[in-house]
Amino acid sequence: MKYTIPLGFDQTGGSGVFYIGTSVGPVVVFFQGDHGLQRFVQVMAPVVQREGRRLGFTRIEANSIEEAIELFSTGDPALKNVRFVSSDSSIATQIIEHYSMQSS
């Protein structure tokens, strides 16, 4: 199964995992394939553009979301305190709703 993970790019072309600051800490949303990705991009692209950044994506192949998270985050100490969630989780839904209301 393929999973899509958002990346953030700054003006110099530097990139990193795109996380959203929440009350539970930084959150990274994993998408199963492209399911839900278009809505995420519609809502989040204007937010990151206002910050002078842009969105990009990487894909990883794994048997489960747990395996995808492990493969993606292993060996990167910067991701130690990041919470990874599926795009169909309640946290991901709340994030998208929150930013959708802000951009309206």
Going from N- to C-terminal start, the domains of the chain cover 2-103
The model carries a pTM of 0.86
Residue matched to tokens 């946290």: 91
- Paired tokens of 95: 């994030």
pLDDT at 104 over 70: no
pLDDT over 70 (residue 103)? no
Contacts of 103 (CB under 8 A, 6+ apart): 43, 46, 47
Question: Which tokens sit at 53?
Answer: 């950044």
Q: Which helix (H) or strand (E) holds 97?
A: helix 90-103
Say if residues 41 and 30 touch (Cβ distance below 8 Å).
no
Return the structure tokens found at 17.
């995992």
Q: Give pLDDT tens digits for 24-82.
A: 899 999 999 888 899 999 999 998 898 889 999 999 999 999 999 999 888 788 888 89
